[in-house]
Amino acid sequence: MKARQKRLVFVGLALVGVAGATSLALSALQSNISYFFSPTQVMANEHPVDAVFRVGGIVVEDTLERQSDGLTVHFDVTDNAAVVPVSYNGILPDLFSEGQGVVAKGRIGADGTFYAEEVLAKHDESYMPPEVADTLQTAHVDGVVEQTAGSLAPTSTTRSPTQ
């Protein structure tokens, strides 16, 4: 075999090896990805059916229920447009509380309940997961647009300081 042929064979084998390694890496990454969905998207069935995904929003006040086993909890998560019931079996993070931001990772059940494998809570007073903040902002803007479009008359009157 000539030197040139040996180099071509070597380059060809190297390309095949790189392609194989790339496909294995992409396959491993794909199996570990969990996408984020808002409660509105979950209720609209835009989520994957049999795959793990994340849902986030605000824990609805007065919905936290602890079961007698001490580990199972049920609560609702909202983006101010829709509500998703969540069930979690485990120890909640110390900073978890009603009225605060939360992201849960798990699967949706046939009964419409989100069964969380992991629950993440905010870590200080001012932090909000970026996905949750974007979702809440979108839901707020959509709600304002709907209210504005639904009413033609002004809802309040303004008074000048001299009146």
- Point out the annotated binding site for heme: 123, 127
Residue 6: half-sphere exposure toward Cβ, Cα within 13 Å: 3
DSSP string, the chain: --HHHHHHHHHHHHHHHHHHHHHHHHHHHHHH---EE-HHHHHTT-S-SSS-EEEEEEEPTT--EE-TTSSEEEEEEE-SS-EEEEEEESPPPTT--TTSEEEEEEEE-TTS-EEEEEEEE-SSTT---HHHHHHHHHHHHHHHHHHHHH--S-S-----TT-
> Which residues fall in the annotated binding site?
123, 127
Residue entry with tokens 């936290």: 64
